[in-house]
Structure formats: structure tokens, C-alpha cells
A and B are shown apart, each in its own frame.
Chain A
Amino acid sequence: MASRSQGSLVVRRILRNPVAVVGLVIVLSYLFVAAFAPRIAPFDPNEQDLSKSFAPMSAEHPFGCDEFGRDLLSRIIFGARTSLIIQIFSVCIALVVGVFLGALGGYFGGWLDEGIMRMMDILLAFPGILLALAIVAMLGPDLRNLIIAIGIYSIPQFARITRGSVISVKQNDYVTAARAVGETQASIILRYVLPNAISPIIIQTTLRMATVLLTAAGLGFLGLGVQPPEPEWGTMLSNARMYLRSAPMVAVIPGLSIMLVVLGFNFFGDGSQDALNPRLKE
């Protein structure tokens, strides 16, 4: 009961924050577009019609057409779906592995913690996009490997956040009490520690969605992400570079889509952070 009323308090606080609401609206629209892409898109995203190559914006093609005469709007809509797939699967990998390792290290401490954290340090020693780049270099560029690469590269962030949160939660009396009544370690972690350590993990998930999208698009831009003709915003942008002078919109629109969605996740994550952090209460 108590947690529910606290939950609704958090929701109310998020809804009072204009930045978070704008973010939420963008994120929800993006999810909608990605989920119903085949119904919303006016054309097949891969259908070529060379007679319409670089067709300007019109009622039929609101964003115009690309070099192969494919409808840009439809490609953007299906690109949303590609991005969402990458985000969901890679963040899931990172979430499961990262939370597991972080909880293990944070709860048990000692050499186990030391070992796990040193492993994370090694992964973190490759800054930014570099680790993902290295993994794609190893496995070869395609959608599946991209998801694996971005998933692995996000693990340390989740492990670190979870570890910190678990360490602070495990000092609570109710954890000591659970231990005293003889609950198993697994049950203490799953029933008492993790549920109370969850809010920074949720925030991290939202913010990570933004980073992951940017990274996937960046790899796409480098030609090391999703391969054409599959519609993906970064890859589309990369192909459009060649025609930057004659048809700038073909490059501008995919970039705008990336920025808008990333902004949405950042706005929402940032706003919820304020709402979930009691220290920042006015």
C-alpha cells in the first residue's frame, strides 16, 4: 500500500515537470510509430521507383524520396521500428547481465565484488562508442551483432549503478531482519534488496535508451551498423551524405528523427530523475 501511494506521488511529480512531459509525449509517439509501422507507413520502405529519385516534398511523399525513389517518410517510420528493436534487445542484455553482476558484487562484497568491478573497469577503459565498435569489428556488422555489441557496451553502467544502490539498501534494518529470520540469500536479494534499489536502475534504463540509439545510429553512419537496404536512421544518413549538396533533406530528416527521439528519452529520464530524487524536493 505504502509503495503504491509513493508510486503515484512519483507519477504526479513527473507529470508536473514540463520537460518530463514533453519527453514522455515524444517517447510515446515514437513507440506508437514503431509498433504500428506497417499500418502507418504509406509505402513499402524498400520499394524502389527510380523515376521518383530525389522527388521533392509533395502531398504523396511528405518527406520526398531518396536516391532510389523510395518514400522517405515510410523509411523513417520503419527506421523507428529498427531503432526500437535495437534499443529493447540491447538494453535488455545490459540490464539482465549488469543488474545481476552489480547486485552480486554489491551484496556479497569482498573478492567477488573486487573481481566484478575490475572486469567492468576493463570494459570501461574503452571510451564511448569504441567498445561497441571493437565488438562489431570482431563479429561483423549486422543487426544481431550490433545488438550484442551495444548490449555488452552498456553492461558496466548497469552493474555500477546497481552495485551502488544495493550497497546502500543492504544496510537497512529490514535486510538485517530478513537475514535474522533465516531467509536465503537469493530471496533476500530478490525480495528485499533489488525492489528497493530499483529507482536509479529505472532512470539509467531510460537514459541508456538515448545513448544506445545514438550509438547504433553512429555505427550505422560509419557503415558498421545495420546494413542497407534495411531502413535505419544512421545508415540512411550515411548514404545521403553523397547527395548533401543536391538533396540535403534526405540527410537532414533521418538526423532530425534521431535527435528528436534521443531528446525525448533524455527529457523524460532527466525529469523523472528530479521526481524520484527526494533530495531535490523544493
Chain B
Amino acid sequence: MGRFILRRLAMLIPVLVGVSLVAFLILHLAPGDPARLMAGIDASQEDVEMLRHKFGLDRPLPAQYAMFVRGLFTGELMSLRYESPAMEVILPRLKNTLVLACASIVVAVVLGVSAGVLSATHRRSWVDYAATVLSLFGISMPVFWWGLLLMLLFSVKLMWLPSGGMGTIRHIILPALVLGTASTGIIARMTRSSMLDVLRQDYITTATAKGLTRQLVVNRHALRNALIPTVTVVGLQFGQLLAGAVLTETVFTWPGIGRLLVSSILARDLPVVQATLVIVALFFVFVNLAVDILYAILDPRIRYHG
């Protein structure tokens, strides 16, 4: 097991280097002079030159890349808008996004797994069809539109829930529901198909033949194994939620990294854009690794080496 984890960690190294390179190049492949870009349109030539020197843009590219990576950790990578280290701008917002993502994943797992199990155990009934169609709706719904519809109903018409911001538990209900919608659909479909696979296995027939009730067979024997592939999907979805948060946070003015990323792009605060991309990718990659390891622990058929 330890070797498996080490090998997977080693495989991450080229990916992480690649991710930081992509983020680094965003500034340098953008058309135009990065120093002028940072200085703004009405900056004087001297200001531009000063910035160029200050940010090391007059050095060769490899040296600049080294500076960039070091700056990520040491806080030398400065936000242009806030005039503080990019990381200091990002971390509190990252916490807010994680709170939202966790709430959403809870919503998605509870609704998705229940719908999937119901679908599989009532195969070809109206419950199954309704769940299938609803989960396709969930996947197809534009997050931002779904958010506006719920806001229109619960905040504008009924005035039950706030339409944006953060603070109380009531603030998180709508964004979590909206962000979790697509994941709910995906988790429901995964649970349904793996549950159907498991229900076809011999040991389920045996358990039924022993005279166990249907409910006991499903809950004790089938669900446990059916949930193994679902665990993977939940993990992958968690990463996707960080990206989905970009839209949800914009709709509900949730102060997370999604909104920070968009506003930084619009304000051309590229160091923050770069750092945010690196952080999210880092997070995503490690969540995926954790999922792989968890999967190997849950399913003894998976070999650690090979």
C-alpha cells in the first residue's frame, strides 16, 4: 500500500510542474507586453519599465518561472489590485468556497444515492423513469439559470431565503442546492448502474434464497458494494464543484475563489489569476489521488502494484 501511494505521488510531479507552467505562461502568452498590461493603459513608459524590472520581466523566461514558483510560496507574488501577497487574498476565500463545496456534496450524496438506489430497486417503474429524467435535467441545467430561478422563487417571491451574501446558515441553502444539482444527477446515475450490476450477482441471489427480506439484501449486501464506484464519482465531483463554484458564487455573490477568479480576470489582476489556478488544480489533483487510494482500500480486487 505504501509503495502504491508513493508511486502515485511520484506520478503527480510532472503534472504539478505542468500545471504551474500553464499558469505561468498565461501571463506570457497573452498578446501584448505583460508589464504594460500590469501597469494599465495610461501608465507612462517609465512606470512600465519600473514594473518590468520590479517583477523581473526583463529576466530570461526560466529565471522568471523560478521566481513565479518561489513567489507562490513566499508571498512575493503580489496581487496588483489589493497590493498584498496573492496567497493572502486567496486563502480566506478558498475557505469560503470549501464550505460551500462541502455543503453541496452533502446535498448531492444524500439526494443522489437515494435516487439511484430507488431507481435500481424499482427498475422500469415510474420511480426509475422519473429519477432518470430528473437526473438528466440536473446535468443539463445551466447552473447560473437554475440559481436565478430558485432566487426568483425563494428570495424575490416568497422572501424565505436571502438572495446572496454569506453569514448565516440560511445564506448557504440556495447556493449549496444549486451547486450540488449536477453532481446529484451524476451520482444518482452512477449509483443506479452499479447497484443494478451488484443486484445481478450470485451472492445477492444466495442472500435472497436464504430468505432474507428484500430490504435487508439491499441495505446490508448490495449497497455496500454498489457504493464503491460511487465513492470515486463523489471524489471527482468534489473537484468539479470547485470549478462549478465560479458560476454559483457569481449568482449568489458568495465571497469565494470563484468570484475572485472572475473579478481578477476582468481587472487583469493576473498574479491572482495564476495563483488561484495553481491552488485549485493542486487541490483537485490531491483530491483525485485521495479518491484513488480510498478506492484501492475499499475494493480489494484492485492491485496496488502493476
Contacts and interface: CB of A to CB of B under 8 A. Distances in A.
A165 B26 CA distance: 33
A116 interface: no
Interface stretch (B50-58, B102-110, B137-145, B296-304): B137-145
B280 A251 contact: no
A32 interface: no
Contacts of B280: 126-127, 130
A218 B142 CA distance: 7
A263 B119 CA distance: 20
B284 A125 contact: yes
A114 to B, nearest CB: 10
Contacts of B35: none
Nearest to A222: B262
A129 B246 contact: yes
Given A127-B242, A258-B142, A262-B142, A241 B18 contact: no
Nearest to B145: A255
Contacts of A210: 140
B145 to A, nearest CB: 3
Contacts of B14: 118, 121-122
B145 A222 contact: no
Contact of B26 (A118, A138, A217): A138
Contacts of B242: 127-128
B144 A237 contact: yes
B243 A263 contact: no
B240 A127 contact: yes
Nearest to B182: A214
**Range of interface residues on A (Cβ < 8 Å):** 35 or more
Contacts of B133: 19
A127 B244 CA distance: 9
Nearest to A267: B136
A26 to B, nearest CB: 11
B137 A263 contact: yes
Contacts of B31: 139-140
A248 interface: yes
Interface string B148-179: 11011000100000000000000000000000
B30 interface: yes
B29 A138 contact: yes
Interface string A132-163: 01101111100000000000000000000000
A222 B246 contact: yes
The B interface is mostly helix, strand or loop, or mixed, namely helix
Given A128-B240, A244-B152, A218 B143 contact: yes
Interface in B261-306: 261-262, 265-266, 270, 273, 277, 280-281, 284-285
Contacts of B143: 218
Nearest to B163: A244
A96 interface: no
A64 interface: no
A255 B151 CA distance: 14
28 contacts: A19-B136, A118-B14, A121-B15, A125-B284, A126-B277, A126-B284, A133-B261, A133-B265, A134-B22, A134-B273, A137-B273, A138-B26, A138-B30, A214-B140, A214-B142, A218-B143, A221-B247, A224-B262, A237-B148, A238-B144, A241-B148, A244-B151, A244-B152, A255-B144, A255-B149, A259-B137, A262-B142, A263-B136
Given A126-B243, A128-B243, A130-B261, 17 more contacts: A122-B15, A122-B19, A126-B19, A126-B277, A126-B280, A133-B261, A133-B265, A222-B247, A237-B142, A237-B148, A244-B152, A252-B152, A255-B145, A255-B148, A256-B145, A259-B140, A259-B145
Interface of B: 14-15, 18-19, 21-23, 26-27, 29-31, 132-133, 136-137, 139-146, 148-149, 151-152, 156, 239-240, 242-244, 246-247, 250, 261-262, 265-266, 270, 273, 277, 280-281, 284-285
Interface of A: 19, 118-119, 121-123, 125-130, 133-134, 136-140, 210, 214, 217-218, 221-224, 234, 237-238, 241, 244-245, 248, 251-252, 254-256, 258-259, 262-263, 266-267, 270
